[in-house]
Structure 1
Amino acid sequence: MTKAPTILQVVPWLDSGGVERGTVDIAAAITRAGGKALVAAEPGRLVGELEAVGGKLLPLKGRSKNPLSILLSNARTIERMIREQGVDLVHARSRAPAWSAMIAAHRAGVPFVTTYHGAYSQKGRLKAFYNSVMAKGDIVIANSHYTARLVKERNPDAESRIVTIHRGVDMEQFDINTVASERIEALRRQWGVDDRPVLILPSRLTRWKGQSFIIPVMGALKKAVGPTFQLLLIGDEQGRESYVAELDRLIAEHDVTDCVSRVGHCKDMPAAYALATMVIVPSQDAETFGRSAAESLAMGKPTLVGDLGAQPEVVAAPPDVPEGQWIAEVIRHDDAEGWQQAIASTLAMPEEQIKAIAPFARGLIEACFSLRSMGQQTLAVYDQLLGCDLSSHEG
């Protein structure tokens, strides 16, 4: 291919979350390399960021999963986008729009790539079939080794087409040395944070992310050591009013109204990590990557994660860290006592130890989970299918 390629990514809604953030990140990599980056999705919070990196949004009813007519209608819409915009490759990142994108790509005769972002429930044959579209790409990108194993188990025929590309952290954005104190103080005032150690749980408010699991743990910790800490639940409600009401009830029931707060969506996560004493990610279901843990370690923060999915591979200590000095720990996801003990021991960790190990943590993320690495590897997938050289221009 002699001309710079046009890549169309397809997601349901360009609002917030790891899938959406990764979409914008890859759009930026495409444009830096000289390509044209398009995204088909419903408009959301990240449209401005997409446009700022040189990408363009093409409106699509991306969040409609039913009925079948919507999928077929979207297929026609995406096919029209491909032909009108001169799209060379379609990259789908979510199941419902992926079915439409696959049909459109096949009709238009362009390569079709998928990224397998989620563990996806396989309850019943119909659900398994619905999920299978994410393994039907000419190349299937898995966002962790855990995900790659999962895809192979469920779709043995896809094994030769699977490529593992870990999610990427923006090392410039998530650098504690570049976060101005004014940004940290602004969050401190906004959230009413005092001088006690600050724990943050940065995840959208949904049961499997573990907020309802960790609140009783905080209650037990308070009984053991007093109200000597504060936990901030950072994340969108996303319309889950009954779950939010449950969280508020749990906070009251476990007498932690002075220790646990819901603070909603945060636009400045680097400042939130900088404010934190430690980061906890107590997911009760498998994470297929573990973006929060990676960002936390890039910021040099002690990090506790559950034992499910890909999070253990993200926080595994590099070989050059002295025995017993690593600032990340994996806890059995449903072991409430284990979480309480781990939080207490991490809060007691000497500040000198954290400062000494923080560069090793950042080095791990830089080497294995950086945005630059993700961008180069993804562009190499496009190069393989299109015969272009985008990846040589990235970075």
Structure 2
Amino acid sequence: MKVVQVLPALELGGVERGTLEVARGLVAAGHESIVVSAGGRLVEQLEREGSRHVQWELGKKSLLTLLQVAGLRRWLAEEKPDIVHVRSRMPAWVVWLAWRKMNPETRPRFITTLHGMHSVNRYSAIMGKGERVIAVSETAKRYLLDNYPEVDPAKVTVIHRGIDPEEFPRGYQPTEEWKARLFDDCPQARNKHLICFPGRITRWKGHLDLVKVVSELSQQRQDFHVLIIGSDPKNKFIHEVKAAISTAGLDEYFSFLGTRSDMKELYAISDVMLSLTSTTAEAFGRTVVECLSIGTPVVGYAHGAVAETLGAIYSEGKVPTGQYSLAAQKVNFCLDSKGCGDMLEGPYTLDKMIQKTLSLYEKI
């Protein structure tokens, strides 16, 4: 079986990670894996793991990108893949426009994956046009069917994103050298209970709600510190967050660590993680699953796929959206407890994700 996956680029991100994971699974199962993208820092890893990369910029949101439809159609006819699998809207439009004019008897099967709850419009509707559509959570499936009634529910399959439990092993502890480096860089966090808050610094991730939760918590105790992990892509919203922290008189409780590659260690040293997305819903709460896999509890708004994830494996962490006081109470309890107790095993493992994806490929 020959499978082509198409996405804008191979930089860091959940879509990119999922693409590499499926590519690795295809190669391990003896199939041929090709990824089409504009390139990026993950190309080397992709090729090292046995896939072929074809550099082609199909993700730029411009009508000029559509000029590549004919060339892509010729390339697909020459490659003769069994499956073409798209994961992003602009590449999906280019692939679909090329694919629909090919011979239905010989063209590849066309699969889309809905990775996020996009704004509802004709542009986003392309993600429902696959012969089969993968939704990364029940939440994503409901979004698709509620907003695009023309999509046949029978062709939509939920395949949860998955993490490797061996990458985030239960009870993991970082080395003393790593801890020393962290606390040298962040001395105000030394000898404190730690709260982890991962995610890009954007308005919808809940950083302003975080300030309110910390304000409530600081009235109950002062022996904690918050590690904000992630960067501001546009370098705009971070200033608003820092201003809100200063206005509330909470500067001593926060450290901004930027984008990190040592999330396993940061989850492990934290007493609790917070997830406070309240506007645009998460399609899949990867950081929630990673953190719970380590054994660190998560307190999160019951919104979008975070509610689905916590409901499946750690229901004690759910908080109604906007309930700052209740969130602070749950965090306060977690700071004095050890780990997240009896966490249920959910459907969120990498092996399950790859197995179900390859099974869908073979079925179609």
The question of a shared fold, defined as TM-score above 0.5 by the shorter chain, is answered with: yes
Judge which range, 30-39 or 159-168, deviates more.
30-39
Indicate if the aligned counterparts of 1:11 and 1:92 stay in contact, CA closer than 8 A: yes
Are 1:338 and 2:326 counterparts?
A: yes
Are 1:146 and 2:139 counterparts?
A: yes
Pairing partner for 1:117 from 108, 115, 118: 115
Indicate if the aligned counterparts of 1:301 and 1:327 stay in contact, CA closer than 8 A: no
Letter in 2 for 1:54: G
| Cα shift at 1:176 | 4.0
Match of 1:369 in 2: 348
Indicate if the aligned counterparts of 2:274 and 2:299 stay in contact, CA closer than 8 A: yes
| Inter-partner Cα distance in structure 2 for 1:340 and 1:241 | 28
Match of 1:271 in 2: 265
| Cα shift at 1:292 | 1.0
Instruction: Describe the SS at the equivalent of 1:200.
Output: strand
Distance 1:189-1:58 versus aligned 2 partners, 3 A rule: farther
| Inter-partner Cα distance in structure 2 for 1:183 and 1:111 | 51
| Cα shift at 1:105 | 2.8
Match of 2:168 in 1: 174
Letter in 2 for 1:88: D
Instruction: Please show how residues 19-34 of structure 1 align to structure 2 within 5 Å.
Output: 19-34=15-30
Pairing partner for 1:65 from 61, 65, 69: 61
| Inter-partner Cα distance in structure 2 for 1:344 and 1:155 | 42
Are 1:105 and 2:99 counterparts?
A: yes
Distance 1:85-1:269 versus aligned 2 partners, 3 A rule: farther
| Inter-partner Cα distance in structure 2 for 1:210 and 1:88 | 42
Instruction: Describe the SS at the equivalent of 2:256.
Output: strand
Indicate if the aligned counterparts of 2:110 and 2:132 stay in contact, CA closer than 8 A: yes
Distance 1:260-1:86 versus aligned 2 partners, 3 A rule: same
Indicate if the aligned counterparts of 2:173 and 2:269 stay in contact, CA closer than 8 A: no
| Cα shift at 1:236 | 3.0
Instruction: Describe the SS at the equivalent of 2:231.
Output: coil
1:290-328 Cα offsets, whole Å, 9 max, x none, are: 11111111111111111111212211256xxxxxxx674
Distance 1:328-1:10 versus aligned 2 partners, 3 A rule: farther
Instruction: Please show how residues 246-325 of structure 1 align to structure 2 within 5 Å.
Output: 246-285=240-279, 286-316=281-311
1:82-106 Cα offsets, whole Å, 9 max, x none, are: 3454432111111111111212333
Match of 1:52 in 2: 48
Match of 2:360 in 1: 381
Letter in 2 for 1:112: F
Instruction: Please show how residues 156-167 of structure 1 align to structure 2 within 5 Å.
Output: 156=149, 157-167=151-161
| Inter-partner Cα distance in structure 2 for 1:129 and 1:272 | 40
Distance 1:252-1:44 versus aligned 2 partners, 3 A rule: farther
| Inter-partner Cα distance in structure 2 for 1:316 and 1:93 | 26
Judge which range, 269-278 or 211-220, deviates more.
211-220
Match of 2:84 in 1: 90
| Cα shift at 1:204 | 1.4
Letter in 2 for 1:255: G
| Inter-partner Cα distance in structure 2 for 1:220 and 1:299 | 27
Indicate if the aligned counterparts of 1:116 and 1:134 stay in contact, CA closer than 8 A: yes
Task: Count residues with an aligned counterpart.
Answer: 356
Match of 2:206 in 1: 210
Q: Which has the higher helix share?
A: 1
Instruction: Describe the SS at the equivalent of 1:44.
Output: coil
Q: Percent identity?
A: 29
Please give the TM-score of this superposition, normalised by the length of structure 1: 0.84
Gaps of 5+ in 2: none
Gaps of 5+ in 1: 123-127, 319-325, 386-395
Instruction: Describe the SS at the equivalent of 1:241.
Output: coil
Distance 1:333-1:112 versus aligned 2 partners, 3 A rule: same
Letter in 1 for 2:307: P
Letter in 1 for 2:328: Q
Are 1:136 and 2:129 counterparts?
A: yes
